[in-house]
Amino acid sequence: MIVHRPLEGTFKFARLVLRPSGWYLQCVCETEPAPLSQKVNSVGLDMGLHYLVADSSGHIIENPKHAKKSAKKLARAQRKLARCKKGSHRRKKAQHHVARHHERMANQRKDTLHKAARHYVDGYQVIAIEDLQVANMVRNHGLAFAITDASWGMFRHYLEAKAESAGRQVIAVRPHYTSQKCSSCGKSVEKSLSVRTHVCSFCGYIADRDENAARNILQRGLQVMARTGPSSSRREGPEPSGESPSALKREAAGL
C-alpha cells in the first residue's frame, strides 16, 4: 500500500473507494485549521477562457485547458471502445482505458483549481469574484466545452471553502460590463470581443482587458463590503434594471 501522506489530527473514519486507477482507502481526520496571518489587502478576480484567472494586481493564471489537450487521446480511446464487441474482454479493457483518461483529466483540473484557490486565500484578506451563472452560460453550445473545462464553479467552491476556514472574505458581484467600463475613470469604453487591450479614450488608462475587468470587480466588491460590513462570504444583490443576463454571455465569448 502506498501512503499518500501521514495522517494528521484525530482519526474519524475511513472508506474504501474504487476508481479506474485502482482501490483507495480514504481516511477522514479532524484537524484544526492552520492559522493564517491577517491581511489588509484585497484583490479582484476575473475568470475567463483566455486566462483562467486574471487579478486586479496584474497577476494571471494561465488556462491549462486539460480537456482540450487530452481530446485526441480520449477520442482515440473511445473509437477503440466502439469497435469492440459488447461483453468481450477487450471491451472491458477499452472501457477501463477511457475511464482512466477521464479520471486523469479530473485530477489535473482539481489540482490546478486547488492551487489557484490556495494562492489567493493565502495572499489576500478580501477576494472579490464574479457571480457567474455557469448553468445558463453552458447553454451557449459554442462555449459549453471550454466553460466546462475551465470549471469556474468548482474554482469558486474551492475558494469559498478555503476562505471560510482561513477567516478570509469572498464577495461575489455582478459580472455585467466589467470589461467595457474603465476602472480608472468609470467611463464606458466599447470594444469588440477580439480586442485584448483596454485603452480608455477619456483618461488614457491602458491595461489588459481582463486586468481592467478584475479592477472593476474589486471596486464593486469593496462597495458591497462597505454597505453590508465584513463577512466570510457576501453576494451582491440582483442586477439593476437594464443589465440583461445575455450581456454576460457576450463578455464570456471574448475571455
List Cβ neighbours of 101 (8 Å cut-off, separation of 6 or more). 70, 73, 74, 77
Active site residue 122: no
Active site residue 111: no
Half-sphere exposure (CA, 13 Å, Cβ side) for 181? Answer: 15
| Residue 142 to residues 59, 137, 195, 198, Cα–Cα distance (Å) | 28, 10, 19, 25
Q: How many helices (H) and strands (E) does the chain have?
A: 7, 10
What DSSP string describes 198-227?
Answer: EE-TTT--EEEHHHHHHHHHHHHHHHHHHH
Q: Which of 55, 149, 210, 236 is catalytic?
A: 210
Active site residue 46: yes
Query: Which DSSP symbol is given to 174?
Result: -
Burial class (CB in 10 A: 0-12, 13-18, 19+), 150: buried
- Please give the Cα distance from 120 to 41 (Å, whole number): 11
Could you give the residue numbers annotated as active site?
A: 46, 130, 210
